[in-house]
Chain A
Amino acid sequence: MTDAPHEKASIASLAMTRRMHRRRAAETRFRLYGRASVIFSMAALGWLLLSIAATGLSAFTQHWVDLDLDVRAESATDNDRRRLADALAGGFGVQADDAVRQELLALVSASAATDALARNAERSGATLRLTVPVSDQADQYYKGRVDASRPAAQRRLTDRQIAWLDRWADEEQVERRFNRGLFVNPDSRDPERAGLASAILGSVMIVLIAGALALPVGIGAAIYLDGFAPQTGWGGRLTRALEVNINNLAAVPAIVFGLLGLAVFINVFGLARSIPLVGGLVLALRMFPTIVIASRAALRAVPDSLTDSALSLGASRMQAVFNHKVPIAAPAMLTGSIIGMAQALGETAPLLMIGMVAFVTAVPESPLDPATALPVQIFLWSGSAEAAWAERASAAIIVLLAVLMVINGVAIVLRERLQRRRSL
């Protein structure tokens, strides 16, 4: 600040006020821009979450129907679908022909009901009491997603089918339940029986394997590059070249890692396609540069004076780095690593190349059994024809987001704890 002479105050203040106004106006404008961009991004995120929740939340419940099936008369045929259809027709008191059978089978989860029939094949003498999920279309109808006022040709359910469904509802045979199958069943082509078990387990295995490989290697590499690698002369040049290349590696599109995985792990090492072990190996490669870069940045943010003072007091380089530098950088390193793991959890492209974008009929029991991953399951479900898949895909997105939030939550809690310990 210069001491402006008082007699020029009136003239100076005019120019000064103008400049002052301009500066303040600039600041106000910037605040507005800032607020606008925050509002815009929050609105986009809110809209995304809302639209997913609006379509997906209903998939966490599913309607079930209690059936009393009289399968005695039809025991002559060994076609379970036909037996089921005839028994359903008997229940409604209608004559069964091909069209009626087809429409009746489209009301319940035919595969679940025929499985139950097959299980109870020896009890064909009595009336069979079954509780099965209703079909995807019927479920959509009970959830109010079918517009019965449209002309019959423009909806998936015929007038007859709607009348039958209403009759079940009137006789209180239908119950809306929590959709437990969504979490414990393997994938299915019937939306009402489809579950995420294979995908959740697959994702967990992939992330654990990738983390177990990439975390120690990535953090170790970062600490070495930061504290121990030569910084001068030819060695220094080599170190810098290495760092540039690790940065480049982080920018390589994910699909390239998938191709690499296919060429190396499957074609050279002869590991099987579609297994979480290969997925974990590929994603470990994908996570590695992210972890190195994040950890490097965290270590670089620690003031050199800290290690310098430790060194000057006679500590070895090892002691200076591990006892003084790493603990301070640990919270940020942890955050970076967890972000890397969360990214790996959401990756689809590399899994495509190693055959994990597949329909897997059984829940994996080990990392060597075929499995899929959560993002892959979302991709597969959203590409399927039946309308109910849109709902299930959104539900799978909600599950994936929940898992990511848990991971990020753990990261935040760990970071807070580490930071509190430092400020002691």
Chain B
Amino acid sequence: MCKAEDRRPGLGFRRLTEILAERLVIAAVLATGLWACAPRDRPPVRIVGSSTIFPFAAKVAETYTRRTSVPIVVEQTGSGGGHKLFCSGDASIDATTSSRPQKPAESAICAANGVAPVIELPLGFDGIVLARSVDAVPIRLDTVTLYHALARKLPTSATDCTPVPNPYSRWSQIDPGLPDEPIEIFGPPPTSGTRDAFVETAMETGARRFPCLAAMERDTPSLFRARVHDLREDGAWINSGENDNAMVRTLVDSPAAIGVLGFSFLNQNTDKVGGIAIGGVVPTSATIRSGTYPVVRTLYLYMKDGSAADVRGYGMEFLSDEASGPGGYLEEIGLIPLPDALRTATRQRLSDADKAESRIEGSEP
């Protein structure tokens, strides 16, 4: 009797689980099969590269897809990661964005893997800004003050470059005119291109004001670089993540702190943080564009010469009037446009490459 009781539900279960499992598996396999049968015939354009350029690259991708229905994938890998993928010879990577020019070593890898020649297209400028909460006391900085505040080892005097540990912990110790607040600067980690650009423009400019350091740069540039790129690790400079939103929140929470940000982030958060003038120049679209604001870098797009029409079309969209021209949709989200002459010339270069290519292939429109 026990057996009879046991078996009935047992078989019921078995049937139930079997049927369930079978149906699930069949449905999943069928669905997967059906989907797999019909991938898009048009391969997606794949752009990798800088996370600074990502918002712009993605916005252009979106517009281009809407106009042409070419699917585009934009991945943020960082500038270095982008060059690495692009130069690896992976045919599915069509272009890479970069917040710095391609390094000679990277070009060599590109050439070795047959990714040559490569076209370099400037896209616009990015200002690196120092920002602090809108509720904070205004502060005026220049590159020398920044060098005093952030270098791990300072020269003993203007002429004697023997390194001494940085003694300053408050702004007012560097210059009595500055507020009596602790030096606390949040910036991107060493892996970031933003940090490289900040050190190369702001810190190096500040260091050159010391005659002995300027002399050192002339004689032994490598020593100079090592010396100037060495930032404090005693709490005055704080490495924060690549997430600029988190940085904006930190700045709002601690009004004495200063953050190193890309201009586009400042631009989108003017209700929370304000840009600090460097050498008396406030970072705005106009000052960055004209070059009066000192901490600026150029943003680039790299693609293979003779890329597919869709990839070149993407580049043309990036450089079009409506995108990166004055008043374009990229300026709206914080890209500093190229001077019109340079943008027109770059467009010309891309469309010339286009024509040269179509002559070779003889079939492209």
Chain A residues within 8 Å of B, Cβ to Cβ: 79-82, 85, 98, 101-102, 105-106, 110-111, 114-115, 118, 146, 150, 153-156, 187-190, 205, 208-209, 211-212, 215-216, 272-274, 277, 313, 322-324, 326-327, 330, 355, 357-362, 365-370, 382-387, 414, 418, 421-422, 424
Contact B21 A216 (CB under 8 A): yes
Alpha-carbon distance between A326 and B15 when the two chains are bound, in angstroms? 12
Chain B residues closer than 8 Å to A355, beta-carbon distance: 73, 75
**Docked complex Cα distance between A419 and B329 (Å):** 59
- Binary per-residue interface labels of chain B (1-22) against chain A in the complex, 1 for a CB within 8 Å, 0 otherwise: 0010011111111101100110
Which residues of chain A have C-beta atoms less than 8 A from B327's C-beta?
81-82, 85, 98, 101-102, 105
Q: How far is the CB of A85 from chain B (nearest CB, A)?
A: 8
Question: In this assembly, does B293 line the interface, its C-beta being within 8 Å of a C-beta of chain A?
Answer: no
Interfacial chain A residues near B44, Cβ < 8 Å? 362, 369-370
Cβ distance B253 to chain A, nearest Cβ, rounded Å: 16
CB of B215 within 8 A of chain A?
no
CA distance A155 to B270 in the complex (A): 6
Q: Is the CB of A212 within 8 A of B62?
A: no
Q: Give the number of residues in B that approach A within 8 Å (Cβ atoms).
A: 70
A-B contact sample (11 more), CB < 8 A, given A326-B17, A359-B74 = A153-B134, A208-B28, A209-B28, A215-B24, A216-B21, A323-B7, A327-B13, A359-B57, A359-B58, A365-B39, A414-B20
Docked CA distance A197–B274 (Å): 36
Q: How far is the CB of B172 from chain A (nearest CB, A)?
A: 26
CB neighbours of B271 from chain A (8 A): 146, 150, 154-156, 387
Contacts of B328 in A (CB 8 A): 81
Alpha-carbon separation in the docked complex, A422 to B8 (Å): 10
Contact with A along B55-80 (1 / 0, CB 8 A): 10111011111110101111110000
- Pick from B13, B46, B65, B74 the residue with the most CB of A within 10 Å: B13
Roughly how many angstroms separate A216 CA and B322 CA in the complex, as a whole number?
A: 53
23 contacts between A and B (CB under 8 A): A98-B327, A150-B271, A188-B62, A212-B32, A274-B75, A313-B3, A324-B10, A327-B17, A357-B76, A358-B73, A358-B74, A358-B76, A359-B74, A360-B71, A361-B61, A362-B72, A365-B35, A365-B40, A366-B39, A367-B32, A367-B35, A370-B44, A382-B245
Segment of B104-112, B114-122, B261-269, B304-312 engaged in the interface with chain A:
B261-269
Which of these, A154, A327, A424, contacts B14 with CB under 8 Å? A327
Residue numbers in B under 8 Å from A326 (CB-CB): 13-14, 17
Nearest A-chain residue to B90, judged by Cβ: A273
> How many A-B contacts at CB < 8 Å in the complex?
190
CB nearest neighbor in A for B20 = A414
Contact A359/B11 with A188-B62, A208-B31 known, Cβ cut-off 8 Å: no
Residues of chain B contacted by A105 (CB below 8 angstroms) = 327, 332
Q: A102-B327, A323-B7 are in contact. Are A362 and B71 (CB under 8 A)?
A: yes
Q: In the complex, A102 Cα to B327 Cα: how many Å?
A: 6
CB pair A365–B32 under 8 Å, yes or no, is no
Task: State whether the Cβ of B317 lies closer than 8 Å to any Cβ in chain A.
Answer: no
Query: What is the minimal beta-carbon distance from B56 to any residue of chain A, in angstroms?
Result: 9
A385 touches B29 (CB 8 A): no
A368 touches B36 (CB 8 A): yes
> Are B14 and A368 in contact, CB atoms less than 8 angstroms apart?
no
Measured between beta carbons, the chain B residues less than 8 angstroms from A101 are: 327
Q: Contacts A359-B74, A368-B36, A370-B44; is A212 near B270 (CB within 8 Å)? A: no
Q: Which of B14, B62, B92 contacts A273 (CB 8 A)?
A: B92
Which residues of A are found within 8 Å of B92, using beta-carbon distances?
272-273
| A216 in contact with B25 given A357-B75, A358-B74 (CB within 8 Å) | yes
Which residues of B from 258 to 317 have beta carbons under 8 Å from A? 264-265, 267-271, 274
Nearest-Cβ distance from residue A378 to partner chain B, whole angstroms: 13
Residues of B within 8 A of A115 (CB): 66
Do B71 and A361 touch (CB < 8 A)? yes
Known contacts A79-B321, A369-B71, A421 near B9 by CB under 8 Å:
yes
Does B54 belong to the interface (CB within 8 Å)? Answer: yes
Determine the distance from Cα of A60 to Cα of B41 in the docked complex, in whole angstroms.
34
Instruction: Identify the closest chain A residue to B71 (Cβ).
Output: A362
B129–chain A nearest beta-carbon distance, Å: 13
Residues of chain A within 8 A of B337, CB atoms compared: none
A212 B59 Cβ-Cβ under 8 A: no
Asked if B28 and A212 make an inter-chain contact with CB atoms under 8 angstroms apart, the answer reads yes
Assess the B36–A277 pair: CB atoms within 8 A.
yes
**Interchain nearest-CB distance for A368 vs B (Å):** 4
Shortest Cβ-Cβ A-B pairs, 6 listed: A327-B13, A385-B268, A212-B28, A368-B39, A361-B65, A362-B71
Measured between beta carbons, the chain B residues less than 8 angstroms from A190 are 59, 62
Point out the residues of chain B lying under 8 angstroms from A212, CB to CB: 24-25, 28-29, 32
B212 on the A face (CB < 8 A): no
- The CA-CA distance from A384 to B61 in the complex, in Å, is 16
**CB closest chain-B residue, reference A105:** B332
In the complex, are the beta carbons of A385 and B264 less than 8 A apart? yes
B200 at the interface (CB under 8 A from A): no
Whether B360 sits at the interface, judged by CB under 8 Å, is no
B3 to chain A, nearest CB (A): 7
Bound complex: CA of A216 vs CA of B18, how far in Å? 11
B191 at the interface (CB under 8 A from A): no
Most buried by A among B16, B38, B72, B271: B271
Q: Are A418 and B243 in contact (CB under 8 A)?
A: no
Q: Tell me, in angstroms, the Cα distance from A369 to B61 when the chains sit together.
A: 16
* Contact A385 B244, CB 8 Å, known A79-B321, A365-B38: yes
Min CB–CB distance B255 → chain A (angstroms):
13
In the complex the two chains form, what is the Cα distance from A48 to B38 in whole Å? 41
Centre residue among A114, A326, A360, A422 by max chain B CB count within 10 A: A360
Q: A110: which B residues are within 8 A, CB to CB? A: 329, 332
B76 and A111 contacting across the interface, CB-CB below 8 Å: no
| Cβ distance B153 to chain A, nearest Cβ, rounded Å | 35
B40 to chain A: which residues have CB within 8 Å?
Answer: 362, 365-366, 369
On whether the beta carbons of A366 and B62 are closer than 8 Å, the reply is no
- CB <8 Å contact, B265 and A385: yes
Chain A, residue nearest B28 (CB): A212
Closest CB-CB distance, A19 to chain B, in whole Å? Answer: 47
| Interchain CA distance A272-B71 in the complex, whole Å | 14
**Which B residues are CB-close (under 8 A) to A361?**
61-62, 64-66, 71-74
Contact of A418 among B13, B28, B61, B74 (CB under 8 A): B13
Beta-carbon contact of B37 and A366 below 8 Å: yes
